[in-house]
Amino acid sequence: MAESTSSRSVSERGALRVGTFACAVAAGLSVFVVPAAAFAADEVAACIKNSDTGQELRDQGKLIEARESLAVCARDVCPAQIRTACAEWLTGLGPRIPTMVVAAKDEAGHDVTDGTVMVDGKKVDGALAGKAFPLNPGPHAFRFERDGATPVDLQVVAREGEQRRMVPVTFKAAAPTGTGVGVGVGTGNNRPPPPDKPRSGGSGPPLVSWVLGGAGLVAVGVGAVVGITALGDRSDLKDRNCAPYCPQGDVDAIRTKFIISDISVGVGIVAVGAAVVLWLTHKTEAPVSAAPNGARPCGSTWSVRF
């Protein structure tokens, strides 16, 4: 059946093309014979083009677009053969285009007329007013939106020839996105917030005191080692009895080691001293007890630890 229909469509299209070509030739010759009755060349071209396009779109299932093209070639300005064929196809196309009617309600069952209906990402005006609207055959993505309600998504298959199909949808109130908690105000479920956990104070010195102390001890150790090495080198020079004619390079190297030793020991002592001061001045933070219902006790202050 499909093959015969397709063959018939092809044969109809071929016959129409031959007829339209003849009409175009006759229209061109009539310019010289009967100018008042001649068809405008651009109108004839538009009729031929939309006749072919309308048949192609119809065969592809794009019935709405095919209807628009066939309406162009069915006008009175088109040659009679084209106009008659397009009008016949247009008449047979109407019942094949499926139409939908949206029936929207709220949770109480009341009709809803405010909102937005989107089909395949495009807004359909007046879809909630109870009016039917056409669709091409095939699956379509519906999305229904309304202020204060949760959007609804549906997949609807439009069947060829199905007229005024009812598409029911129920809008439900959107859940609150969040609830704020203020001083003396409960949460959204009217339950008091949980009491604050006691804040534990630090039981030992801060980390920086450990770092300074360790670095200071290392610096003192390095300075001591370098100083001992410098003393050994100086003793070697004395054993060689080269003074005051000892090599200047050896003398400078020993002097540099003594300087490094002094600096390292000095920096180490300062670092250890700073660590001890931080250790002694560190205070532990008293825990803050929570009052009933999460309230702060009178006279207490908020404290922030970094």
Please, what is the angle between helix 80-93 and helix 2-33, to 10°?
A: 150
Asked whether residue 19 is assigned to any structural domain, the reply reads yes
The SS3 of residue 167 is strand
In terms of residues, how long is the chain?
306
Asked whether residue 289 is assigned to any structural domain, the reply reads no
**Average pLDDT of the residues in 288-292:** 50
Q: Which of 123-127, 165-169, 256-260, 294-298 has the lowest mean pLDDT?
A: 294-298
Element (H, E) at 43: helix 41-59
CB 145 within 8 A of CB 115: yes
91 and 103 share one domain:
no
- pLDDT value of position 132: 95
74 and 117 share one domain:
no
152 and 166 share one domain:
yes
State the Cα–Cα distance between residues 108 and 171, nearest whole angstrom. 10
Domain end residue (candidates: 148, 171, 194): 171
Q: Which of 8-17, 188-197, 268-277 has the lowest mean pLDDT?
A: 8-17
Find the CATH number of the domain harbouring 125: 2.60.40.1120
158 and 238 share one domain:
no
**Average pLDDT of the residues in 2-31:** 47
Q: Which residues 6+ apart lie within 8 Å of 186 measured at CB?
A: 192, 193
Domain that holds residue 255: 207-281
DSSP letters of 48-71?
HHHHHHHHHHHHTT-HHHHHHHHH
The SS3 of residue 184 is coil
Give the confidence band of 59 by pLDDT, cuts at 50, 70, 90.
Answer: very high
pLDDT at 25 over 80: no
State the Cα–Cα distance between residues 292 and 195, nearest whole angstrom. 7
Percent of the chain whose pLDDT exceeds 90: 42
Asked if residue 244 has a cis previous peptide bond (ω within 30° of 0), the answer is yes
Token duo for residue 189: 């479920």
268 and 236 share one domain:
yes
Asked whether residue 136 is assigned to any structural domain, the reply reads yes
Give pLDDT tens digits for 63-111: 999 999 999 999 999 999 999 999 999 999 999 999 999 999 999 999 9
Asked whether residue 195 is assigned to any structural domain, the reply reads no
16 and 91 share one domain:
yes
State the Cα–Cα distance between residues 180 and 12, nearest whole angstrom. 71
Asked whether residue 178 is assigned to any structural domain, the reply reads no
- pLDDT value of position 29: 40
- N-terminal to C-terminal alpha carbon distance within the chain: 82
Residue 247 CB: number of other CB atoms within 10 A? 11
CB 106 within 8 A of CB 100: no
More confident of the two residues 231 and 45:
45
Give pLDDT tens digits for 124-156: 999 999 999 999 999 999 999 999 999 999 999
233 and 161 share one domain:
no
- pLDDT value of position 7: 47
Mean pLDDT of the chain: 77
Give pLDDT tens digits for 172-204: 998 876 554 444 444 444 555 666 655 555 556
Residue with tokens 């080269």: 242
State the Cα–Cα distance between residues 25 and 19, nearest whole angstrom. 10
pTM above 0.95, yes or no: no
CA 289 vs CA 85, 191, 195, 208, 302: distances in Å: 91, 20, 9, 28, 12
- pLDDT value of position 272: 82
Asked whether residue 305 is assigned to any structural domain, the reply reads no
**Average pLDDT of the residues in 270-288:** 72
State the Cα–Cα distance between residues 176 and 259, nearest whole angstrom. 72
104 and 159 share one domain:
yes
52 and 129 share one domain:
no
Asked whether residue 57 is assigned to any structural domain, the reply reads yes
List, in sequence order, every beta strand (DSSP E) within 34-174: 99-106, 116-119, 122-123, 133-134, 138-145, 152-158, 165-171
| Residue 231, burial from CB neighbour count under 10 angstroms (0-12, 13-18, 19+) | middle
Q: Which of 40-44, 231-235, 264-268, 292-296 has the lowest mean pLDDT?
A: 292-296
Domain end residue (candidates: 171, 188, 215): 171
pLDDT at 216 over 50: yes
Number of domains in the chain: 3
67 and 6 share one domain:
yes
Give pLDDT tens digits for 116-126: 999 999 999 99
Q: Which of 88-102, 225-239, 255-269 has the lowest mean pLDDT?
A: 225-239
90 and 8 share one domain:
yes
Asked whether residue 180 is assigned to any structural domain, the reply reads no
More confident of the two residues 231 and 182:
231
State the Cα–Cα distance between residues 27 and 41, nearest whole angstrom. 8
Q: Which of 52-56, 99-103, 291-295 has the lowest mean pLDDT?
A: 291-295
**Average pLDDT of the residues in 1-24:** 48
8 and 89 share one domain:
yes
pLDDT at 271 over 90: no
Residue with tokens 């879809």: 127
Domain end residue (candidates: 42, 68, 95): 95
- pLDDT value of position 303: 43
More confident of the two residues 200 and 29:
200
State the Cα–Cα distance between residues 73 and 49, nearest whole angstrom. 8
